[in-house]
Amino acid sequence: MPVLTLTTDIGQQDYLVGAIKGQFVQADPSCNTVDISHYLSPYNYLHAAYICTNAFKHFPANTFHLVIINLFEGEPREMLLAKHNNQFIACPNNGVLTMITGTRPKELIALPINTSSKGLLDFTKVVADTFGNIFSGRSNTLQGDPVTNLVEKYPLRSTIGGDWIEGQIIFIDNFENVVVNITKEEFEEQRRGRNFKIVFTREVIETLSENYSSVNEGELLAWFNSAGYLEIAMSGGKMAGLFGLQGFSEKQQNAALQNKWFYQTVRIFFE
């Protein structure tokens, strides 16, 4: 039974998610569909990569992942299909693929859209047909056009100094807890047993917690979440809103000029 995951920015207020699922069921009635999220932040590839990377790794080999974000940025004429780490990933050619994989996949094809109308369902129909060919056994390898102009974008990396490390806010969850692109491995490598201060806006956290219940209500905490990333929060409170913290996005690369960078980064000092 093939597994299909859907991760999109289209929401669930209309018929589109249901229609996409219908296309894949027609292609292979045995497919098992899993919704990861339909609320990716538009234009925020960091957000999409964080969601997809940390969800995909929990699925079995040969899972088929369809990712739709900013499909109509520019004039799309194709979808991409890659096989990476024994997982299939189908997505637009807008940079989200390399944001998720961190590299150019070796197995990569283009699925051109040859219809005169190029609405969302025309793109997903071509992907669904390819899905059906793969899992029906009609195609053991990726078969399609070569990708001649891959758009490549890559995740931001934390900035490292002699006694500090600075990361960007890459995700704010439904409770307004804040995730920073500093991993536990990076933190420990730079820490080298030293004391530390996690600084954002004008607030300071000097200890790590095990989870949200480690502090009293209203207190700040920092911990490394199940994905291994630094997360800062307020127990029982809405961290991002209270401190004006904002997620970094590609559309805000000149945010420092607008005095926003201050609210999009977290710095850790070691001493």
Mean pLDDT on 77-89: 95
pTM above 0.85, yes or no: yes
The residue to which tokens 């979440």 are assigned: 225
Handedness of CA 125, 129, 134, 135 (dihedral sign): positive
CB 143 within 8 A of CB 109: yes
Banded model confidence at residue 128, pLDDT cuts 50, 70, 90: very high
189: its two tokens = 């490598």
The single-letter code of the amino acid at 2 is: P
Q: What are phi and psi of 240, to 5 degrees?
A: -60, -45
Model pLDDT for residues 17-56, shown as the tens digit of each residue: 999 999 999 999 999 999 999 999 888 899 999 999 999 9
Is the confidence at residue 216, as pLDDT, over 60? yes
In terms of CATH, what superfamily is 159-270? Bacterial fluorinating enzyme like (2.40.30.90)
Task: Render 40-67 in DSSP notation, one character per residue.
Answer: PPTT-HHHHHHHHHHHHTTSPTT-EEEE
What CA–CA distance (Å, rounded) separates 240 from 225?
17
**Residue 32, beta-bridge partner list:** 3
Q: Match domain 3-135 to its CATH number in 3.90.70.10, 3.40.50.10790, 1.10.287.130, 3.30.590.10.
A: 3.40.50.10790
For 128-228, where are the E strands, in sequence order? 159-160, 164-172, 178-183, 196-200, 203-205, 220-224
Model pLDDT for residues 106-125, shown as the tens digit of each residue: 999 999 998 777 899 999 99
For the chain, where are the E strands, in sequence order? 3-8, 32-37, 64-68, 78-84, 87-92, 107-112, 159-160, 164-172, 178-183, 196-200, 203-205, 220-224, 229-234, 265-270
Write down the domain spans for the chain: 3-135, 159-270
Model pLDDT for residues 221-264, shown as the tens digit of each residue: 999 999 999 999 999 999 999 989 988 765 555 544 455 556 88
